[in-house]
Structure 1
Amino acid sequence: MKKSLLAVAAIGAFASAAQAQSSVTVYGILDVGFQGVTTRVGSAKTNVTKFNGEGAETTSRLGFKGTEDLGGGMSAFFTAEFALVPTDVDLSGDKNTGLANRQTFVGLKKNGIGAVALGTQYTPVHLAVGRTDPGQQNNMLGNVIYAQGGGSGNGQTTTAYTTRYNNALTLQTENYAGFSAYGIYNNNNSNANNPSTTQAVTNNEALGLGINYVWQKLIVDLAVNSSKQQTITGTTNTAAALPPTSAAIGVIGNQLGTSIGTMTTYAGATYDFGILKAYAQYINTKYTSNLDSNAYVTRAAQQVGVRSFVTPTIEAFGSVGNGQFTAGSAAAIVTAGTRATQDFTGYQLGANYWLSKRTNMYAIFGSTQVSTSSVTASEGGSSYGLGLRHTF
């Protein structure tokens, strides 16, 4: 009898130890409020207001993450995170209504070396912007680095760079003397092998590298994303489409266009002076036709900003930036083979009132303006958001 009791106790202790070595966390954000967006193209103006808008400050989301201790300093981990649309009745997973994949991956980590992961993951540029953006990647107009459409709540894409790659392999190093590195490789290639029909090949390939440096109150980030999409039907390389300017909430894996090469470089820094944090950012993205290197569009921008706690519960932030579009000779971008440029500016002002560490009320206003060129009329817009955000 005593032996049986000892065996039961030993099994129970072993099960408790096994459970202690692994953990799963449920987390998320709900951001709902009131939004207004005004857009202008030439003399035309459009106003859109949403009483029950969502995601002005942060995209709502639901996530699961976990780790398991494998012993010897090795561990397994996973993350599955999905965008939520609180004002939509449908959570079916349809790309425009409700649940949509933000990042889903699984990986292994070795203490003292780093981690490797596979799945849908953020690009080095997106991670670097997240650490050095005064607006913390909100969804309002006016941020020229993390360019958004004005509070749609999606927060899945930006017209300034590619936020994530699916089918991606990433490598993350440990911190060495303040330095850490993050690399990503994406490969979505396909082929056909039917001699009786015209074969089609679609190749998507991307890679990126980011370096982060932290020294006391200083953070510096350098990052690059490079991607190429090529479509071949038979022996013909499909003509290049115009560079992508936006994407639906579900089209987030490879924002590469058709027969388009994309290169983004980013540099950002922030320093905490105690009474405020100062930010400086620069980004350059170039979309180039695989068939004609003279057919391209570049978007370059720079931005500065600050964040500060005015009181222990009131936090304020602001940013201002400008940039320029430059076009090559692709049809519908310029006329008669000439090149065109457009200048743009943007600014944001915002404040948070913190009710607790997890709950805050916010107010954000942002505005952007694009100049007239020989090809297109001036355009711009402004947006504001008032809301309540809770993290869990």
Structure 2
Amino acid sequence: MKKTLLAAALLAGFAGAASAQSSVTLYGLVDAGLRYTNVSLSNGDGATNFGLGYGQQSGNRFGLKGVEDIGGGNKVTFVLESGFEPGNGTLQQGGRIFGRASWLGLENNSWGYVRVGRQLNFATEYVGIPVDPFGTGFGQLNMGAAFGVANTDRISNSIKYQTPNMSGFQAGIGYAFANGATGVYTADAGGGASTGSGYNFATSNNSRQLTLGAKYANGPFYAAASYDKIYAPDSKGEGASISSWNIAGSYDFKVVKLAAGYGQTRDGVILGQGGGGTGASLAGSSISTVNGENVFAPSVGTNSYIVGLTVPVNPVSRVLLSWTMLTPNTNMKDAYNAQNQTAYNLAYTYDFTKRTNMYVFAGFMQNVGTVDTAKSTQVGLGMRHQF
């Protein structure tokens, strides 16, 4: 009897060890509430909307993530993540099944990771999410309104490498053979548009993207830098491309966490997720209102700024504040009467549990998309649950 019990215990132990080496997790997030939006121009054009708002603090999603230990400290990892609209059940990210993320990777604590598929660029991963008090959420309130390349920029058909953590320092490099982004080209950048569809191993016929990043974290201090270069398809000729670099950081003083950042984008505009805000769509003269994720324009350039604060009220609630600005270069001002875009943002979140919280927010933006007199005001509240 004792031998039988011992054997059963050993078998149970081996089964537990085996299952611990390989796992698949289902996870997700549901975010819904109410939102009021008002956009206007000085000529009287505008719109006011009030109703249900979805994915306000964070985009709605469900996904699968897995890991398998294959020995020697090496692990195979994957993430398949889908974005959806709770109000009607439809898929987001252009109807992609796994539009938020779809990648397979190999990693090791001693040499880092390699991942292949659809994934975030390093500007979003290193600069946007960690530095922005709004975590690239809350619609027009997040820093992506000024830092387009850090506005949840997902690149398809990409391969990324990240170093291991070396005393708080990490760096990464990635390249997308066909980033999947739509593009619009001014006359001096080849003209026309591209849909961003398809790869078919015809790399030169697609928009490609190089992404670089470095970060350092040590206790309350965090700093990061990123660089992205987006190349137009060769069919556009003239080697049209957009470049963008950013540097940002934060320091947690416990009573308040201060964040700040600066960036430059040249030879075009990177709109990112939800780029070209609703206010900008009321006017057709600004280069940033063109309907595309990336606008290739050799004469266009912008500078980006952010100052943000996270103020813990108590262990379960915090106040978020930020100011962002996007300044056009002289060519944009002359050609499109572009003006400085400024935004003032405020939010409050309260955690009921580790998985569920409520929030309220308000944001005001002047000269949306650098369009003169375009204004946008957003106010909302909602609840978010993670599982």
TM-score (norm 2): 0.77
Match for residue 113 of structure 2 among 105, 112, 115: 115
- Please state how far the C-alpha of 1:349 moved relative to its aligned partner: 0.4
Change (3 A) 1:361 1:20: same
Task: Please name the residue that 1:273 is paired with.
Answer: 253
Counterpart position of 2:379: 384
Deviation at 1:160, TM superposition (A): 6.6
1:41 to 2:41 alignment: yes
Going from structure 1 to structure 2, the CA distance change for 1:209 and 1:12 (only over 3 Å counts) comes to same
Please state how far the C-alpha of 1:295 moved relative to its aligned partner.
3.3
**Secondary structure of residue in 2 paired with 1:126:** helix
Query: Contact 1:346–1:366 at 8 Å: present in 2 too?
Result: yes
- What percentage of aligned pairs have identical amino acids? 28
How far did residue 206 of structure 1 move?
1.3
The equivalent position to 1:319 in structure 2, one of 322, 326, 346, is 322
Query: C-alpha distance in 1, partners of 2:304/2:254?
Result: 28
CA distance in 2, matches of 1:355, 1:27: 19
1:172-183 equivalences under 5 Å are 172-183=162-173
Aligned pair partner of 1:125 in 120, 123, 126: 123
Structure 2 residue 359 is the aligned partner of structure 1 residue 362? yes
Q: What SS does structure 2 have at the residue aligned with 1:299?
A: strand
Give the 5 Å matches for 1:16-165: 16-43=16-43, 44-50=45-51, 52-90=52-90, 93=91, 101-127=99-125, 128-143=127-142, 145-147=143-145, 163-165=153-155
Query: What secondary structure sits across from 1:101 in the alignment?
Result: coil
* Structure-2 change in CA distance of 1:339 and 1:32 (3 Å): closer
SS at match of 1:315: strand
The change in CA–CA distance for 1:350 and 1:378 in structure 2 (over 3 A counts) is same
Answer yes or no: is the 8 Å Cα contact 2:350–2:357 preserved in 1: yes
Residue of structure 1 equivalent to 2:305: 302
For the 8 Å contact 1:88–1:98, the answer to whether it is kept is: no
**Which of residues 243, 257, 263 is equivalent to 1:283?**
263
CA separation in 1, counterparts of 2:50 and 2:12? 58
8 Å CA contact 1:351–1:363 kept in 2: the answer is: yes
Which residue type is aligned with residue 64 of structure 2? F
2:205 matched residue in structure 1: 202
Instruction: State the Cα distance separating 1:204 from its structure 2 match.
Output: 2.4
Q: Is the Cα contact below 8 Å between 1:308 and 1:316 reproduced in 2?
A: yes
Q: Which structure: larger Rg? A: 1
Structure 2 SS opposite 1:88 = coil
C-alpha separation between the residues in 1 aligned to 2:369 and 2:222? 37
**Whole-Å Cα distance in 1 between the matches of residues 297 and 53 of structure 2?**
42
Instruction: Output the CA distance in 1 between the equivalents of 2:55 and 2:372.
Output: 30
Q: Do the aligned residues in 2 keep the contact of 1:132 with 1:270 (CA within 8 Å)? A: yes
Q: Is 1:217 the counterpart of 2:212 in the alignment?
A: no
| Number of residue pairs aligned between Structure 1 and Structure 2 | 338
Report how far residue 9 of structure 1 moved.
Answer: 9.1
Asked whether the equivalents of residues 115 and 161 of structure 2 are also in contact (C-alpha less than 8 Å), the reply is yes
- Whether the 8 Å contact between 1:277 and 1:306 is mirrored in structure 2 is yes
The 8 Å contact of residues 84 and 99 in structure 1, kept in 2 or not, is answered as no
Task: Return the alpha-carbon distance in structure 2 between the equivalents of residues 314 and 201 of structure 1.
Answer: 49
Superposition CA RMSD, Å: 3.3
Aligned partners of 2:244, 2:152: CA distance in 1, in Å? 8
Quote the offset at 1:61 in angstroms.
0.9
SS at 1:58's partner residue? Answer: coil
Deviations 1:147-172 (Å, cap 9, x if unpaired)? 19xxxxxxxx9577571211100001
Change in Cα spacing, 1:273 to 1:298, as seen in structure 2 (3 Å) is: same
CA distance in structure 1 between the partners assigned to 2:223 and 2:322 by the alignment: 18
In 2, distance between residues paired with 1:379 and 1:351?
26
Deviation of 1:16 after TM superposition, in Å, equals: 4.5
- Between 1:379-388 and 1:8-17, the stretch displaced more is 8-17
Gaps of 5+ in 1: 149-156, 193-199, 240-258
Deviations, residues 313-351 of structure 1 (Å, cap 9, x unaligned): 3211101122212364xxxx787xx58542111010000
Contact 1:303 1:320 in 2 (8 A): yes
